[in-house]
Structure 1
Amino acid sequence: MSLSQWQWETATAGAVAGFATVAAMYPLDIVRTRFQVNDGRVTNFPAYKNTAHAIFTITRLEGLKGLYAGFLPAVLGSTVSWGLYFFFYGRAKQRYSKNREEKLSSGHHLASAAEAGALVSLCTNPIWLIKTRLQLQNPLHQSRRYSGIYGLPFILRYFANALRTILREEGWTALYKGLGPGLLMVSHGAIQFTAYEELRRIMVDYKEKKQKSEGASNLLNSFDYALLGGSSKIAAILITYPFQVIRTRAQQRPSKEGIPRYMNSWHVVKETARFEGIRGFYKGITPNLLKNVPASSITFIVYENVLKLLRPKRRND
């Protein structure tokens, strides 16, 4: 199998995994984003007591569609991001390995994940900014809502209008607000993928020894991939979550007068630390864990099984 074919199979598996993840867990993403921007001082949102109350309140005030605001850029961003991530990650690993059979060190996995994350962040930041803006629309934002552009398919209307409005009101540089913490979040993927690869290696070694002793085949299954994906995600979230809060707050839409809530990412850090302390950097972490730990399990189940379908003759454990 050629290197190019292997890379595109990896990218396809990543893209399918990303779509499945977003579709299954999206309402929790809305809740997380709204918790993240609620600094307790100036807010355009109702007071959510907890994750369940937030879901109930959003549904009551905005309908079920409120739980799927910004779904198009989320699907687009996640699908493109995962596809590009696995593609760049696979290329980096190939570059560090002289042949497909050579095992890479933890350092190589870390470098590969960091490289892939940085490239993906540069490519997709505008999509994530639009997603954040649409997720933060609610009845209290009535005079500042992005309206739909008629003539386009319904799912494209608000995305297209948001993009056009941002370019008109704030310029193209606004599409890269939050890029700094976004690049720092490269460490999230690096931590997650390094942990995943190392835990996977340990599990494969264990099953190979068990196979020899029992004389039976013990390939990794979907439960194994779910366990590996969820475990690696927890460590990454706990370490890098503050970067997500900083990015989300930096990407908020300016007021009607054109005054941004925060001037830049560093301003977010100073204001959050001053008024909220360390707890401010972890707002919304409960729905984030509820969303991303199972979502990561789904991602790696889909990813590994799509690879098996694309490469039926290749041993995947």
Structure 2
Amino acid sequence: MQDPGRLTLGQRWAVNASDSQFNALAGAIGGFTSGIVTCPLDVIKTKLQAQGGFAAMQKGGAHAHVGHTPRVYEGLVGTASVIWREEGLRGMYRGLGPIIMGYLPTWAVWFTVYNKSKKWVGQYQTNTFAINFWSSIIAGASSTIVTNPIWVIKTRLMSQTASHDRPRFSLFPKGGNTPTTRPTLAAPWHYKSTLDAARKMYTTEGILSFYSGLTPALLGLTHVAVQFPAYEYLKVKFTGRSMGAQPTAGQDEKAHWLGILSASILSKILASSATYPHEVIRTRLQTQRRPIPGQEYMQGLGGVAPPEQAAGGVGVANTPRQQQHQVPKYRGIAMTFRTILREEGWRAFYAGMGTNMMRAVPAATVTMLTYEYVMRQFNGARTAGRQKLLGLYDRPELGGST
């Protein structure tokens, strides 16, 4: 029979673990759980955000406005129906691999850096809101730079459809056994899996393709700069405890978790409403293929616009020389903003926002509830372990002091 005074394996780890390890593991578990629960909504949101760019490209002309092109996806239910009909359950979870690969390091890095930054910024600031604000910026920048390649792959996988599986002429015939020869592609931008996407992006577009949309992603730091200071403020107001802290003794359990739930929902709604347009710009940049010298004008997922279209001219047949100087349709935040505004209007910047709210709010709620729960378990195991250690030290029969 086990001695009740002996430490369990979990308590032994918790006693020796640092706060950074607590935050990293709790954040990773929270992000992983959130990714599994909300992946279908993430797919729907990405389809709605990206389809404006696809429609304009498929029209092929300089005056190809999305308003004149039939839209494939309409609303949450309509988009879900199309995906389910064409791709089934697999389509609803397209991109789940990168989500799992992405959320684990994203939230592990974020919560670790955030809590460390709070201590560092606290040496120079006394205002709690300012401390939380700058800590959110630092943590968000760190996690964004580390995980941007994963999110680019995720966005591309989610944006494509099963109709792209049809074999097509290869733009890149494979010759000999040269390792650097570009792979033969069934379709110029179709990806079968996470690793397949990474391989094709690297060999056909180069390393910079993994950092498409990094600048608007960094602009997205305004999102966490709003969300987490708001969450900390609201959680303290509702529960009297800061993020990751143990509830006070005798506190009503239901009230404590209701406070966390309310703080999560309100802070996420506030942040998403204020910063949503940058997500549309980032999605357009991420789903756009980088130009390849000598390639023909490609339709579909982020093809490149012919020079006359990029310049706003009329559709004139390309000469071989012109084809070598094709440029991406979207170049930089300012140009992408102007292009979307000119071709699709201001409403395009809020495409999929309702769906995004239905995805982002549950995602944030699941992440924070899981994080808070795991942190509570870790802190509880640490406290129990330390109490047992004190008890062992005071037991003479075990060699402790009296």
| TM > 0.5 fold call | yes
Q: Distance in 2 between matches of 1:204 and 1:103?
A: 22
- Could you give the per-residue CA deviations for residues 154-213 of structure 1, whole angstroms, max 9, x where no partner exists? xxxx1111111111111101111100100010111111100001111212349xxxx99x
Q: Distance in 2 between matches of 1:295 and 1:48?
A: 22
Q: Distance in 2 between matches of 1:13 and 1:34?
A: 30
Q: Distance in 2 between matches of 1:147 and 1:271?
A: 27
Q: Structure 2: state its 5+ residue gaps.
A: 1-13, 60-69, 166-186, 242-246, 290-296, 305-327, 384-402
Contact between 1:226 and 1:296, CA under 8 Å: does it hold in 2? no
Residue 134 of structure 1 corresponds to 157
Residue 278 of structure 1 corresponds to 346
Contact between 1:13 and 1:307, CA under 8 Å: does it hold in 2? yes
Matches within 5 A, 1:54-133: 54-97=79-122, 105-133=128-156
Contact between 1:70 and 1:132, CA under 8 Å: does it hold in 2? yes
Higher helix share: 1
Q: Distance in 1 between matches of 2:163 and 2:107?
A: 34
Residue 9 of structure 1 corresponds to 22
Aligned residue identity for 1:6 = D
Q: Distance in 1 between matches of 2:75 and 2:376?
A: 40
Distance of aligned partners of 1:147 and 1:133 in 2 relative to their CA distance in 1, 3 Å threshold:
closer
Residue 154 of structure 1 corresponds to none
Contact between 1:146 and 1:161, CA under 8 Å: does it hold in 2? no
Following superposition, the deviation at residue 238 of structure 1 comes to 0.6
Distance of aligned partners of 1:43 and 1:241 in 2 relative to their CA distance in 1, 3 Å threshold:
farther
Determine which structure has more spread, i.e. the larger CA radius of gyration.
Answer: 2
Aligned residue identity for 2:37 = A
Following superposition, the deviation at residue 34 of structure 1 comes to 0.9
Q: Distance in 1 between matches of 2:127 and 2:17?
A: 20
Matches within 5 A, 1:108-257: 108-142=131-165, 143-148=187-192, 158-205=193-240, 217-218=251-252, 221-254=256-289, 256=298
Q: Distance in 2 between matches of 1:147 and 1:116?
A: 31
Residue 31 of structure 1 corresponds to 44
Same amino acid, percent of matched pairs: 31
- Could you give the per-residue CA deviations for residues 241-280 of structure 1, whole angstroms, max 9, x where no partner exists? 1111101000114364862442333321111111223211
Distance of aligned partners of 1:126 and 1:90 in 2 relative to their CA distance in 1, 3 Å threshold:
same
Distance of aligned partners of 1:34 and 1:265 in 2 relative to their CA distance in 1, 3 Å threshold:
same
Residue 373 of structure 2 corresponds to 305
Query: The residue matched to 1:38 in structure 2 has which SS?
Result: helix
So what's the TM-score if we normalise by structure 1?
0.85
Q: Distance in 2 between matches of 1:299 and 1:224?
A: 15
So what's the TM-score if we normalise by structure 2?
0.68
Q: Distance in 2 between matches of 1:241 and 1:96?
A: 28
